[in-house]
């Protein structure tokens, strides 16, 4: 599965700890990330991550493009709800795309843990079933 790791500045340490704790599960999948989050996670783990631009510089939109092409299966986005984000429209668009394309999305560590444990059990295998040869969802 293709999994995106994204975190706001105040949540980067939390994402690093989460990725380290679930490294055995995450290592079995293709990982993508916005720039700084991916860099930080790779420094603290043995995970290989394809890094896009940082979120404010277009990384959220790059991941959104993968969602729109049905090439992303899970988003773990640790948002900071207490700090205004200058690229809020990009964040809203990314969240909307997750809803449109039925992509499981966690915006905090509690939900991320539920999703990662489900992923480990095979609960998200349905993502493979809804894709056809072109990677489009069956409606």
Please list the active-site residues.
60
* Cα dihedral 55, 65, 4, 123 sign: positive
Bridge partners for 137 per DSSP = 131
Other beta carbons within 10 angstroms of residue 81's beta carbon come to: 10
Q: Which run of H or of E encompasses 76?
A: strand 74-78
- What Å distances lie between residue 61 and 5, 14, 43, CA to CA? 14, 23, 24
Query: What is the phi/psi pair of residue 137, to 5°?
Result: -70, 140
Q: Which run of H or of E encompasses 117?
A: helix 109-121
């Amino acid at each position: 599965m293709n999994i995106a790791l994204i975190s706001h500045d105040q949540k980067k340490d939390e994402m690093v700890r989460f990725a380290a704790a679930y490294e055995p599960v995450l290592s079995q999948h293709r990982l993508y990330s916005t720039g700084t989050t991916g860099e930080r996670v790779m420094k603290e783990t043995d995970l290989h991550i394809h890094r896009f631009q940082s979120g404010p510089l277009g990384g959220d939109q790059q991941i959104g493009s993968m969602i729109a092409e049905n090439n992303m299966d899970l988003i773990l986005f640790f948002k900071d709800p207490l700090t205004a984000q200058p690229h809020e429209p990009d964040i809203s668009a990314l969240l909307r795309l997750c809803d449109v394309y039925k992509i499981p999305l966690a915006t905090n560590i509690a939900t991320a843990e539920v999703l990662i444990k489900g992923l480990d059990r095979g609960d998200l295998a349905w993502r493979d079933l809804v894709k056809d040869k072109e990677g489009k969802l069956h409606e």
